[in-house]
Structure 1
């Protein structure tokens, strides 16, 4: 995970720095007048990439015919019988998306970090996210994106390897870059994606600062994208390795309480769940990943551990390779996090939009939630309404409404005390015994009665 710093807060891919200590509130009412401005594109200030901050490299992995576990779990082969996401424009708001042969239609949507068109990715993160969504099917390769016929538009709004220009002169040579990107550039990027006609917007970045969240313009951008521009916005729930602290959500003493009343740490943009679908992560066994930040905003979950996706090969831009990990400053890490669960759901949203073009963005979200594999409680702060099911999302009939995001809590019932079992029916036995007894008595009486008769007729007994 990397840090993206502004004067207001810090943002990281998948989750943000800092953890709140005060009770969290529902997001403030959206004020349309706070909508961020449109063009011109570019960062709000000049930026730099320090010399001691080389871009990441990736670990080759996942090539060959074997289908990755996450892909098998979602049964994508069957889902593709109904939709492959054709005609859908999916915006990836992230660290940029590098051009890759398996993203043939990639569109550069702009850059709020530097002066590229959005198709430079020093971090590797955005390229991996885009690959999960829409990597093309290639003969002999098991890995492919969820919606392989969708088109990606890349908008770079964050990077760990950049900072405001001139900061290097104020720091020691060995100091790492501050990172660049915040909720304000995220808001601009969301508006940019919506104005470009994106039907799905993937945001695998969140923030959870220790102080107040000044994200009102982000809320306005989300409403604009989801309601006015009819774009399905899918966002990460966040990872607790950076959002440090507790966020219990459920109180075992009061399990049926409003989950918002138990939250101690806000996560944005996930908390704007009336406009965005927030995604948690599950492991290979379908259990909630230990790093998922729970919250009343979680809508669904998807595989988010040990993911395979497209690599960023700076030495060979024409590489068709895949990756299963990043190498940064000599340290290797797996492709894991709610950041990578999110694009699985964004890909499903693209499949649904292609199959059901008449559905609004919010109706698409409801369909995905209604067809997920629900936990026993009906809703869970780690899993939301359950693990996403692409096939069901494309084929099932769904209810008009969903239950509120509130766990059913522990319940108890007084089980009926079973009545005493009926006594054994001994009629047959009794009849047999009585009959036997009667016969025995008659035999004895007959035997005794035979003595006088024997004497009368002179029968001698030897």
Structure 2
């Protein structure tokens, strides 16, 4: 018992982790990975909000390797750092990257976007163009994709990133593979956690880079029914954990609310945010230990692991509990494995549209209801003690 003094921030957090473990144990076994995605999103946000009672990501810089972030973006409490443009095409839209930033760090312009890790600083690194930009088709059709991704990984590592969120994938031959491995070695030497999609790429059985390189946290994307979304996620052992890619609210460039986006970017953002929360609370964990904490704490499928969804659905709250337990343990020798046979298609961006504000408010309400139920349990315990295809139904660059 602590008397006569205020508990330290670290003590309060450790107690919070112990309570979190009790809460989820009392709630029963994790739900199966094929649970309804709408319910899954609500549960994930509830778990994230509880994790934020422990840490909101203070002291962590997340590099967003995407299509660029609008310089006027204002997250909840973190800062938007100066970044770089490795694409070189004029008049960037910066749509995908801005939506990712608003989901990751929240938005001061929308009370319904609390942010998955609202205190992180964001380092924008433009490594790809948005669909519809002048010259984008030629850019994607060239050999610059892997080069831009590798340079982006190196740039982020050199400029203080703790976590790198990579929203695109590429494929290549020996040169591209070596180039990517060299960039990731540099990131690993600086203790940077790299999160990337297990996204279909290429015209054959090509492993998606950088996710297929050992040491990277490969992310699977879940469809609305909670199963692997084959359009955005390959079936292979590259996937460590998965997250929903369902429609997700965001604030676009110029501070314009009313966007939704889906596919790889929201799924990767869920996982990168969890990594950022773990790294904020346990800054001395190696990237392999962060990956281990997320793998052992995921909502596991029946057999513990499968090539569709990896170790299961990411669990932000329990990842912190697991990280505390392995804080003093040695890191595992390897991370996610080598890809199994799969069919890959061209890397793409996201689907996104402007949406009715009622959708945003409705999701916020569902989040609050679910979070309220879990928070009430904590209170009682404390009281007792992208493919690039434009589908006709959602032209992602158009407004409604």
Which bin holds the TM-score, normalised by the shorter protein? Answer: 0.5 to 0.7
Residues 188, 403 of structure 1: CA spacing in aligned structure 2 closer, same or farther, 3 A cutoff?
closer
Distance 1:405 1:356, change over 3 A: closer
Deviations 1:89-111 (A, max 9, x none): 10011110113233661112211
Q: Displacement, 1:339?
A: 2.8
2:68 — aligned with what? 96
Deviation of 1:213 after TM superposition, in Å, equals 6.9
Tell me how far apart the structure 1 counterparts of residues 316 and 184 of structure 2 sit (CA, whole Å): 24
Q: 1:405 to 1:321 in 2, by over 3 A?
A: closer
Tell me the distance in 2 between the aligned counterparts of 1:220 and 1:359.
22
> What is aligned with 1:323?
259
Equivalent position to 2:84, from 86, 101, 110: 110
2:97 is the counterpart of 1:156 = no
Q: What secondary structure sits across from 1:188 in the alignment?
A: helix
Q: How far 1:296 moved relative to its partner?
A: 1.5
Q: Match for 1:189 among 152, 156, 159?
A: 152
Q: How does 1:348-367 map to 2 (within 5 A)?
A: 348-367=274-293
Structure 2 residue 229 is matched with structure 1 residue 289? yes
- Residue of structure 2 in register with 1:19 after alignment: none
Partner of 1:256: none
Q: Taking structure 1 as reference, are residues 338 and 348 closer, same or farther at Cα in structure 2, changes over 3 Å only?
A: same
Aligned residue pairs total: 288
Residue 339 (structure 1) aligns with: 265
Shift of 1:368: 1.0
Deviations 1:366-411 (A, max 9, x none): 11111111111211112111100001011236566699968xxxxx
* Structure 1 runs not aligned, ≥5 long: 1-66, 165-175, 246-263, 325-334, 407-462
1:233 to 189, 194, 214: 194
2:219 paired residue among 273, 279, 301: 279
SS at match of 2:306: coil
Q: Distance in 2 between matches of 1:212 and 1:73?
A: 39
Q: C-alpha deviations, 1:110-140, integer Å up to 9, x for none?
A: 1112289xxx8415111112222212466x7
Which residue does the alignment assign to 1:222? Answer: 184
Query: Residues 275-295 of structure 1, C-alpha deviation per residue, up to 9 Å, x if partnerless?
Result: 210100123453322322111
Cα deviation, residue 71, structure 1: 5.1
2:116 to 122, 137, 146: 146
CA distance in 1, matches of 2:155, 2:42: 30
Which whole-Å CA distance do the structure 2 matches of 1:185 and 1:203 have between them?
Answer: 11
Distance 2:303 2:40 in 1: 26
Q: How many Å separate the matches in 2 of 1:128 and 1:163?
A: 22
Contact 2:70 2:94 in 1 (8 A): no
Deviations 1:72-91 (A, max 9, x none): 43422211111100111100
The 1-side partners of 2:316 and 2:235 are apart by: 23
Task: Report the TM-score, using the length of structure 1 for normalisation.
Answer: 0.56
Gaps of 5+ in 2: 1-37, 338-400
Are 1:78 and 2:41 matched, yes or no? no
- Tell me which residue corresponds to 2:244: 303
- Cα deviation code 1:416-441 (max 9, x no counterpart): xxxxxxxxxxxxxxxxxxxxxxxxxx
Aligned residue for 1:385, secondary structure, equals: coil
Does the residue aligned with 1:193 lie in a helix, a strand or coil?
helix
Q: Which has the higher helix share?
A: 2
C-alpha RMSD over aligned residues: 3.0
Structure 2 CA distance for aligned equivalents of residues 109 and 368 of structure 1:
28
